[in-house]
Structure 1
Amino acid sequence: MDFDFSDDQEQLRDAVRKWVDKGYSFERRRAAVEAGGFSRDAWNELAELGLTALTVPEAHGGLGQGAIDAMVVAEELGRGMVLEPLAQAFIASAVLSQFGSAEVQGAWLPRIASGEALVVLAQQERKARYRLDVCDAKATAAAGGHSVTGTKSVVAAGDQADAFLVPAQLNGKIALFLVERSANGVTAKGYVTQDGSRAAEVVLANAPATLVTADGLAALELAVDTGIAATCAEAVGVLDKTVAGTVEYMNQRKQFGVLISSFQALRHRVADMKMQLELARSMSYYASLKLGAPAAERRAAMARAKVQLGQAMRFVGQQSVQLHGGIGVTDEYIGSHYFKKLTQLEMAFGDTLHHLGEVSARMQDTAGVFA
Structure 2
Amino acid sequence: MDFDFSEDQQALRDAVRKWVDKAYDFESRRKAVTAGGFSRDTWNQLAELGLTGLAVPEAQGGMGLGPIDAMVVLEEAGRGMVLEPLVQAIISGVVLSSYAPEAVQGAWLPKVASGEALIVLAYQERKARYDLTKVDAKATQAGGAWTVTGQKGVVPAADQADAFIVPAVADGKVALFLVERSAQGVATTGYVTQDGSRAGDLTLNGATATLITADGAAALQHAVDVGIAGVSAQAVGAMDKFMALTADYLNQRKQFGVALSTFQGLRFRMAEMKMALELGRSMSYYGTLKLTQSADDRKTALARTKVQIGNSARFLGQNAVQLHGGIGITDEYVGSHYFKYLTQIEMNFGDSMYNLGVVSANMKDFVSVAE
Paired position in structure 2 for 1:51: 51
Give me the whole-angstrom Cα distance separating, in 1, the residues matched to 2:252 and 2:4: 34
SS in 1 for 2:340: helix
Matches within 5 A, 1:25-36: 25-36=25-36
Separation of aligned partners in 2, 1:73 and 1:143: 44
Give how far 1:235 is off: 0.3
Helix, strand or coil: the match of 1:360?
A: helix
SS in 2 for 1:208: strand
1:357 — aligned with what? Answer: 357
Per-residue deviation at 1:365?
2.5
Residue aligning to 2:61: 61
Q: Describe the superposition over 1:225-283 as per-residue Cα deviations: whole angstroms up to 9, x where unpaired.
A: 00000011000000001100000011111112211111100100000001111111111
- Structure 2: 5+ residue stretches without partners: none
* CA drift at 1:144: 4.0
Paired letter, 2:131:
R
The alpha-carbon deviation at position 366 of structure 1 amounts to 3.6
Q: Which residue of 2 aligns with 1:279?
A: 279
Q: Distance in 1 between matches of 2:62 and 2:327?
A: 44
Structure 2 residue aligned with 1:24: 24
SS of residue in 1 equivalent to 2:227: helix
Identity of paired residues, percent? 67
SS state at 1:52 partner:
helix
SS of 1:62's equivalent? coil
Residue 63 of structure 1 and its aligned partner are, at CA, apart by 1.1
Alpha-carbon contact 1:300-1:359 (below 8 Å) kept? yes
Q: What CA deviation, in whole Å up to 9, does each residue of 1:291-327 have, x standing for no partner?
A: 0100000001001101110000000000011001110
- Which contiguous aligned blocks of 4+ residues in structure 1 show a shift greater than 2 angstroms? none
Is 1:230 the counterpart of 2:230 in the alignment? yes
Taking structure 2 as the reference length, the TM-score comes to 0.98
| Residues 165-221 of structure 1: per-residue CA shift (max 9 Å, x gap) | 000000110000000000001001000000000000000000000000000000000
2:86 equivalent to 1:83: no
Which residue in 2 is equivalent to 1:288? Answer: 288
Report the equivalent of 1:7: 7
1:347 aligns with 2:347: yes
Q: Deviations over 1:139-171 (max 9, x none)?
A: 000334200000000000010000000000001
Q: Is the 8 A contact 1:53 1:62 kept in 2?
A: yes
> Which residue does 2:184 correspond to in 1?
184
> Could you tell me which residue of structure 2 aligns to residue 93 of structure 1?
93
Check the 8 A contact 1:117/1:162 in 2, yes or no: yes
For residues 88-237 of structure 1, the aligned pairs below 5 Å read: 88-237=88-237
Give, as a single letter, the amino acid of the residue that structure 2 aligns with 1:30. Answer: R
Aligned to 1:141, the other structure's residue is in SS state strand
- Helix, strand or coil for the counterpart of 2:83? coil
Structure 2 counterpart SS, 1:84: coil
The residue that corresponds to 1:329 in the other structure is 329
Equivalent pair of 1:119/1:162 in contact (CA under 8 Å): yes
Q: Distance in 1 between matches of 2:54 and 2:171?
A: 36
Amino acid corresponding to residue 118 of structure 1 in structure 2: L
**Are 1:145 and 1:211, in contact at CA under 8 Å, matched by a contact in 2?**
no
Partners of 1:235 and 1:342 within 8 A in 2: yes
Offset from partner CA, 1:90-147 (integer Å, 9 cap, x none): 0001011111000100000010010000000000000101110000000000334200
SS of corresponding position for 2:291: coil
Letter in 1 for 2:169: Q
* Letter paired with 1:204: L
Secondary structure of 1:212's aligned partner:
strand
How far the C-alpha of 1:59 sits from its partner, in A, is 1.1
Say whether the 8 Å CA contact 1:84–1:197 is kept in structure 2. Answer: yes
- The SS at the match of 2:252 is coil
Q: After alignment, is 249-258 or 63-72 more displaced?
A: 249-258
SS at 2:59 equivalent: helix
Give the whole-Å Cα distance in 1 for the aligned partners of 2:143 and 2:334. 52
Opposite residue 79 of structure 1, the aligned amino acid is R
RMSD (Å) for aligned C-alpha atoms: 0.7
